[in-house]
Amino acid sequence: MSKQTDDFFKNIISHAKEYGFVFPSSEIYDGLSAVYDYGQLGSELKNNLKAYWWKAMVQLNENIVGIDAAIFMHPTTWKASGHVDGFNDPMIDNKDSKKRYRADQLIEEKIDRYEKDGKTDKAAQLQKDLDDALNADDLARLKTIIEEHNIVCPVSGTKNWTEVRQFNLMFATQMGAMADGAEQVYLRPETAQGIFVNFLNVQKTGRMKVPFGIAQIGKAFRNEVIARQFIMRMREFEQMELQFFVRPGSELEWYNRWKETRLKWHLALGADPAKYRFHDHVKLAHYANAAVDIEYEFPFGFKEVEGIHSRTDFDLKQHQEYSKKKIQYFDTEINQNYIPYVVETSIGLDRLFLTVLANSLVQEDLSTEDKQDSRVVLKFHPAIAPVKAAVLPLTKKDGLPEKAREIMNSLKLDYNIQYDEKDSIGKRYRRQDAIGTPFCITVDHQSLEDNTVTIRHRDSMEQERVAVDQLGTIIGNRVSLTNLLKELV
Ligand code: ATP
């Protein structure tokens, strides 16, 4: 990361904390690694992002319904899904620094370094060696690769490594009162399985016809070997997933449709399209016949925000086998029974939140010839802004606060509104800019006479005088989620 992008990323983290978006978990006890709490504005923003996703997926598509499955699932679920045996990362410790790393990532960083140094042949060979070792699950080979390429610990600078060990990313806990009779259960590492095990329930009770989808928003947990980059890689996070069930043979057509639909959804939030790209998976998971990531250019490079996977009939077939219950669909159009194929779209809500912060945070220089000035603004799309408008009486006397409260009370039925009477009006504008409030409504003496106020627009900083009765319409037009959704249909 260059110094400039490093600083920008640090700014995002400190801004998120300073203004009540994201706090380290249990901070008074010095925090818990890779776990975060969303504060008063963060939870509003998160709720707005969830509503945007849910409405775009469930409300706009008559063949998609949403569920809310439990975090705990029968332990056999994770046998069937392959997570008990296969959801592992190879890890290695440096004995001097006591730091833990993912062995594959250490090697990938070396490949990047070879590429940067123009040693492309060496990079290609190392990539091949890495792929071969991973495919063969050969942990000893990973260790020798690390030694052969003189990979040192970035902290201690030494090559004093432990053996490479497999590390399962699922958190396990006990269900039941008695330790002896208790059953080991897992905190779900993805929300998808809650959808698969409910396939028949939803299909039958909802009288769903293929193609149809089941959507879900919920927490997922992964004991990531190394968790860093703020809310990018957390141990407790939230996913928004769609499993779309299709007739076998039509999955790639649907996969391409979903790729397009999902990218459009991201772009409607107003980001620069150059910040997004598709990244096709070259090496596919054993159950997938196509997979792509939607990547966003974070300050630390392009990284996955959403995965779109054509998962074949793998999951339903596995659950059929392990549960010994027939999981099939009778397609009346072609008079055939089959296990539907699945196209999945899976987005991390926290990563989305980070893209939104990175996209929105700007520092603007407002200096004039006589005065140095600047402001920090979160230029959120108004439909997802946590606070839609602030009502500000110009002074604390002469009946202005009462008038301001009256306006606030009528607007708060529809919108999240803040009231602020402390400090100069300029300072109050800056505070609202910093939390991304699209409108500031200022109540002055004239307001008492003719029932008008000034409304200040966050991005242009322009102010206009409008009648109080018009406020609802002016704000509504800009902050409406409906208008954002219209861009998708
Ligand atoms: P990565 O390669 O970055 O570990 P992944 O391929 O394991 O991600 P998926 O299993 O496809 O991720 O999960 C779907 C989405 O869930 C990802 O696109 C990401 O947005 C989100 N996600 C996955 N792991 C985490 C995490 N530890 N913290 C926050 N979000 C995550």
| 347 close to ligand 1 (CB < 6 Angstrom) | yes
| 346 close to ligand 1 (CB < 6 Angstrom) | yes
User: Per residue, what are the HEC states of the chain?
Assistant: CCHHHHHHHHHHHHHHHHCCCEEECCHHHCCCCCCEEECHHHHHHHHHHHHHHHHHHHHCCCCEEEECCCCECCCHHHHHCCHHHHCEEEEEEECCCCCEEEHHHHHHHHHHHHHHCCCHHHHHHHHHHHHHHHHCCCHHHHHHHHHHCCCCCCCCCCCCECCCEEEECCCEEEECCCCCCCEEEEECCCCHHHHHCCHHHHHHHCCCCCCEEEEEEEEEECCCCCCCCHHHCCCEEEEEEEEEEECCCCHHHHHHHHHHHHHHHHHCCCCCHHHEEEEECCCCCCCCCEEEEEEEEECCEEEEEEEEEEEECHHHHHHHHHHCCCCCEEECCCCEEECCEEEEEEEEHHHHHHHHHHHHEEEEECCCCCCCCEEEEECCCCCCCCCCEEEEECCCCCCHHHHHHHHHHHHCCCCCEEECCCCCHHHHHHHHHHCCCCEEEEECHHHHHHCEEEEEECCCCCEEEEEHHHHHHHHHHHHCHHHHHHCCC
C-alpha distances out from residue 224 to 155, 189, 371, 413, 424, Å = 19, 11, 49, 42, 47
| 262 close to ligand 1 (CB < 6 Angstrom) | no
Residue nearest to atom 2 of ligand 1 (CA): 304
Please tell me the least confidently modeled range out of 140-144, 174-178, 378-382.
174-178
So what's the pLDDT on residue 466? 98
Q: Which of 101-105, 106-110, 281-285, 449-453 tops mean pLDDT? A: 449-453
Q: What residue ranges do the domains of the chain occupy?
A: 3-70+190-357, 88-168, 378-486
Q: How confident is the model at residue 284 (pLDDT cuts 50, 70, 90)?
A: confident
Q: Is the pLDDT of residue 206 over 90?
A: yes
| 146 close to ligand 1 (CB < 6 Angstrom) | no
User: 3-70+190-357 is classed in which CATH architecture?
Assistant: 2-Layer Sandwich (3.30)
Q: What is the pTM of this model?
A: 0.92
Strand partners, 131: none
Joined together, the tokens standing for residue 328 give 């099939």
| 304 close to ligand 1 (CB < 6 Angstrom) | yes
So what's the pLDDT on residue 283? 74
The CA 150 to ligand 1 mean position distance, Å, reads: 30
So what's the pLDDT on residue 181? 66
So what's the pLDDT on residue 178? 65
Q: How confident is the model at residue 226 (pLDDT cuts 50, 70, 90)?
A: confident
Residue nearest to atom 21 of ligand 1 (CA): 348
So what's the pLDDT on residue 70? 98
| 224 close to ligand 1 (CB < 6 Angstrom) | yes
CB 438 within 8 A of CB 458: yes
Of the options 3.40.50.700, 1.20.210.10, 1.10.340.70, 3.40.50.800, the CATH number for the domain spanning 378-486 = 3.40.50.800
Handedness of CA 245, 72, 318, 335 (dihedral sign): negative
- Look at strands 417-419 and 389-393 and give their pairing: parallel
The CA 328 to ligand 1 mean position distance, Å, reads: 29
CATH number corresponding to 88-168:
3.30.40.230
The CA 348 to ligand 1 mean position distance, Å, reads: 6
So what's the pLDDT on residue 1? 64
Q: How confident is the model at residue 137 (pLDDT cuts 50, 70, 90)?
A: confident
CB 15 within 8 A of CB 434: yes
Taking the CA of residue 346 as reference, the ligand 1 atom at the shortest distance is 14
Tell me the best of 225, 304, 308, 356 to mutate to test the pocket of ligand 1, counting ligand atoms within 8 Å of each CB and taking the most: 304
Residue nearest to atom 20 of ligand 1 (CA): 348
Structure confidence by residue, pLDDT tens digits, 233-254: 999 999 999 999 999 999 999 9
Round the average pLDDT of the chain to a whole number and report it.
95
Q: Is the pLDDT of residue 159 over 80?
A: yes
- Furthest-apart CA pair in the chain: how many Å? 82
Q: How confident is the model at residue 179 (pLDDT cuts 50, 70, 90)?
A: low
- CA torsion, ordered 53, 267, 281, 114, to nearest 10 deg: -130
So what's the pLDDT on residue 163? 95
CB 303 within 8 A of CB 350: no
Q: Is the pLDDT of residue 229 over 70?
A: yes
Q: How confident is the model at residue 142 (pLDDT cuts 50, 70, 90)?
A: very high
Structure confidence by residue, pLDDT tens digits, 320-351: 999 999 999 999 999 999 999 999 999 999 99
The CA 234 to ligand 1 mean position distance, Å, reads: 9
Structure confidence by residue, pLDDT tens digits, 300-325: 889 999 999 999 999 999 999 999 99
CB 106 within 8 A of CB 114: no
| 193 close to ligand 1 (CB < 6 Angstrom) | no
Q: What is the mean pLDDT of residues 268-276?
A: 95
Structure confidence by residue, pLDDT tens digits, 391-421: 999 999 999 999 999 999 999 999 999 999 9
| 188 close to ligand 1 (CB < 6 Angstrom) | no
C-alpha distances out from residue 379 to 29, 156, 289, 474, Å = 33, 41, 39, 18
| 234 close to ligand 1 (CB < 6 Angstrom) | yes
Structure confidence by residue, pLDDT tens digits, 42-76: 999 999 999 999 999 999 999 999 999 999 999 99
